[in-house]
Amino acid sequence: QMLYLREDKFHSELELDATATPLPSYRKYNANSASSFPSSDSDLMIWPECWTHYIDTLETGDAQTAIWWLSVDNNNSRFTANHFKERSDILHLYQSEYARQYLLKHKVADHQVIKMTEFIPQERCFPSLTEEKRDLDVLYNPAKGIHYTDEIQKRSGGKKGGICFTAIGGGLNGQERISPQEDYS
């Protein structure tokens, strides 16, 4: 089941939204809305890194707690070095080497660190390698590491090298953050 929470920024709290429905692009996963907070020791409550300051605000009984570190930077130092030391009960899920290095830097025990990846639907997979011609497309986040991306573009020959570099995000040159509600599928 999927637990849908709504952030009330005015009161700095979260509310359960049992009437929420997934975005159209996520409906194919058939994740039913949860009607209550997880509470048993077989439940896992996964928090996005941007909501770590809410971890202890909900009554989740014996449910295991995890933080999914997508980019680390979205945490804005809310989960501090002291939290890492004091909260050995929290699992840390990462999906990038950047996040893994961040967890190593904070000396998180190996058994608390788990690599997570997103499911890639079949329709998004690369074409067969036996095909003669395929496009070489590179998506990048211009808000992070642009100096590396610029160097890669230069060394690859850019458009002359047959590689298309596309910034992800919104606004001019894709440099504005996109909201979770925006669907680019």
pLDDT digits (tens, 9 = 90+) for 106-153: 999 999 999 988 777 666 666 555 556 667 888 888 777 788 888 888
- Is the Cβ–Cβ distance between 24 and 3 less than 8 Å? no
The per-residue pLDDT for range 22-65, each reduced to its tens digit, is 888 778 888 778 888 888 899 999 999 999 999 988 888 899 99
- Dihedral of CA 36/42/48/50: which sign? positive
pTM check: above 0.85: no
For residues 78-91, average pLDDT = 93
Q: How far apart are CA 7 and CA 123, in angstroms?
A: 33
- Dihedral of CA 131/132/134/136: which sign? positive
Q: Which two tokens stand for residue 70?
A: 């997508």
What letter represents residue 22's amino acid?
P
